[in-house]
Structure 1
Amino acid sequence: MAVSVILKTLNEEARVGAAIESVLTALEGIGGEIIVADGGSRDRTLAIAARYPVRVVQLEPAIRPSCGIGPQLGFQYSREPFICLMDGDMLLDPDFLPEALAYLDSNPRVAGVTGHVEEMNDTSLEYIRRGRRVSPERRTGAIDRMNGGGLYRRSAVEQAGYLSDRNLHGYEEFDLGLRLRARGWSLHRLDRRFVRHFGHAINAYSLLLRRWKSGYLRGIGELLRAALGKPQWRRLIEDLPELKLWAGVYLWLIAMIALPFALPSPAMGLALDAILTAGIVGAMSLRQRSLSLGLYAVVAWVFHAAALPLGFFQSRKAPEAWIESRIVKDLS
């Protein structure tokens, strides 16, 4: 029942030590290994991680990091029959692994078990909005993805081909869930805490711009491209509510562009554009009970909608291929 815990890192010097210590505590009495899978940190992340009894691996400099490449990097160096995936800015609950392992042992067709991700960042609009949002992915019981990580059964992952698609800059957990469910496996969320997550303590709009530059916002387009023609395509279309939202955003943007040309007076069209935009922001503000959150939600919609086609037409590498990397520190 030993566990390989994969810690994904990229410039996590402030949190990685505490993250590793939380995993070491959780593995007492269970056994296993810790793999720090680094995407190319330029701070002291590697030096701090190397102080602990862990395996540290890092992408070769020529390989660009992505949300999907980190988990697969750790997975290709892992050895144990169970895989626990988490970020380098998370603290693993000390009692999660025994309960999750027991659940998998009692439910042989369940591929993965997770719990609640407790967000510790209460200052950024992004994380405040995330905490208020009602989403099927946060429910307990049967779920379609394990956002934030959790404990996976290696045999199920190997049947699905690979842990994480290296081409994806987002939605990599949903992609894995699709591939597992297409092969008859299921996922489960326990009604208990899995990790505490500290997130990015920066301005939400700065985080949005960072995600645009890093390619993170292209994830949904890359996900669609990855599933095109595959058995999971139909299930993806049915299970991803964001697609309806982006379709609505595209219709809104088309209307915004067309109105100044369709009406007798361009000024009238621009005025209607302003009214329409104000109405959308107002409706979201009422829903979020906050003008700042409502405005941020609408701006985020536009960024995501603009990034979707960029991701869809992005070239792909074989997701199951070996990821060029080096071992910075191995277990003795």
Structure 2
Amino acid sequence: MTKAISIQSAAVGRVSIIIKALNEEKRIARAIESSLRALERVGGEVILADSCSTDQTINIAKRYPITIVQLANSAERCCGIGPQLGYQHSSAEYVYILDGDMELRPHFIDQAVQFLDAHPAAAGVGGQVIEHNLDSLEYKARVERNAHHMNAGQVDRLDMGGLYRRSAIEQIGYFSDRNLHSYEELDLAVRLRARGWRLHRINFPAVDHHGHDAAPYRLLYRRWETKYIYGIGEIVRAGIGKPHFSLLIKQLHEFKLYFLSIIWVIAFLIISIFCGFFLKNGLAVGGGVFIFCLLFVLMTFLIRKKTFDKAIYAFVSLFMHCAALIAGIFVGRQDPGKKIDSNVMSNY
């Protein structure tokens, strides 16, 4: 262990770094050590919010002077619950959220604190994300979707982590929606922006993101299995009737794609059924119409993506996300402001 493990011994400083983790035994030490080093100048606390890891994550984390809290109920695991769990146990003026497969770059926290001190209208600030898993189709698709969110300047959300002002979070009621299996950063962003707060990204390296190595289709299946891709429907349901709903729909570009795709498929399905009942050789004609619908979508992806493997992946991903949109809207919800049941494994 580095000398950084001795940093968190004084009273809480200005920054709480929340590391959310699930089975990160290979990377958690680097995430913790980089967080402790990041607090050397500004002071603060590191809180590991663990979602019931079954590997050595907790045992490794106990070597460091940090607070460790763990979900009491593993059935509640989702991306949104980790940040809120850590926030419950934090106390500093500013709060940073870090994934367990990331490492904080030296001096970013210093730069971020200086930025928020100088810009009182800013609720949060992020930096540049250094990706290390550059070859996966999932990474390439994420870059295509989110490139504009990652540029320096005023942004509409802080994907991949950011430093937030506690007073802004208190104004909107809670940090992260405990019900969301994904899209928790966007949900936080639109709630803040609907209250007049701003978000910024500075041109300074913030984190190294190592990600998880997995074949693209295996990863897609795992995200369905864990309900990660239900997030698109969950965030829409969460926003219905809320002041930020119109802003959410405006920013949720993929929702429009999935919604229109669902309408497209339903329309062709209705035409196919009509052909099957009312035309001679109707079943063949109806089936042909529906196959044409699917081939049209596939060819559109092929033109846009330029390679067959990317087109097939986008095609499969599209229809899985369309199904997840529908499923996510009907997932049950708890009060996002309700205290999360947890166990304190280590307290500093």
Query: TM-score per shorter chain, which class?
Result: over 0.9
Q: What is the SS of the residue equivalent to 2:17?
A: strand
Distance in structure 2 (CA, Å) of the matches to 1:133 and 1:238: 15
Which is greater in Rg?
2
Equivalent residues of 1:123, 1:201 under 8 A apart: no
Rounded to whole Å, the distance in 1 between the matches of 2:152 and 2:304 is 24
Equivalent residue for 1:300? 317
2:240 pairs with 223, 228, 246, which one?
A: 228
- The amino acid of 1:197's aligned partner reads H
Distance 1:160 1:196 in 2: 30
Match of 2:205 among 188, 193, 208: 193
Match of 2:186 in 1: 174
Aligned length: 331
Are residues 1:34 and 2:46 paired?
Answer: yes
Listed one character per residue, the Cα deviations across residues 277-325 of structure 1 (whole Å, up to 9, x for unaligned) are 2332232233223211121112111111111122212221111111100
Contact 2:41 2:110 in 1 (8 A): no
**C-alpha displacement of 1:122:** 2.3
Asked if 1:320 is matched to 2:337, the reply is: yes
User: 1:21 — aligned with what?
Assistant: 33
Deviations 1:60-93 (A, max 9, x none): 1354211110000000000110101010000111
User: How do 1:206-225 and structure 2 match up within 5 A?
Assistant: 206-225=218-237
CA distance, structure 1, for counterparts of residue 196 and residue 144 of structure 2: 32
**Quick one: distance in 1 between partners of 2:127 and 2:244?**
25
Which amino acid letter does the alignment assign opposite residue 271 of structure 1?
A: G
Task: Specify the code of the residue in structure 1 equivalent to 2:309.
Answer: S
After TM superposition, the score normalised by the length of structure 1 is 0.95
Structure 1 residue 117, shift from structure 2 partner: 2.0
Residue 261 of structure 1 pairs with residue 278 of structure 2: no
Contact preservation (8 Å) 1:259, 1:270: no
Match in the other structure for 2:7: none
Kindly indicate whether residue 98 of structure 2 is the aligned counterpart of residue 86 of structure 1: yes
1:184 to 179, 187, 196: 196
Instruction: Name the CA distance, whole Å, in 2 between partners of 1:146 and 1:134.
Output: 10
Distance 2:306 2:206 in 1: 29
CA RMSD in angstroms, aligned pairs only? 1.6
User: What TM-score, normalized to structure 2?
Assistant: 0.90
Letter in 2 for 1:231: P
Is the counterpart of residue 53 in structure 1 residue 70 in structure 2? Answer: no
* 1:103-252 matched pairs, under 5 angstroms: 103-133=115-145, 135-252=147-264
Equivalent residue number for residue 3 of structure 2: none
Query: Is the Cα contact below 8 Å between 2:67 and 2:347 reproduced in 1?
Result: yes
Amino acid at match of 1:308: L
DSSP-derived class of the 1:315 partner: coil
- State the AA in 2 paired with 1:320: G
Unaligned runs of 5+ in 1: none
User: Per-residue deviation at 1:211?
Assistant: 1.1
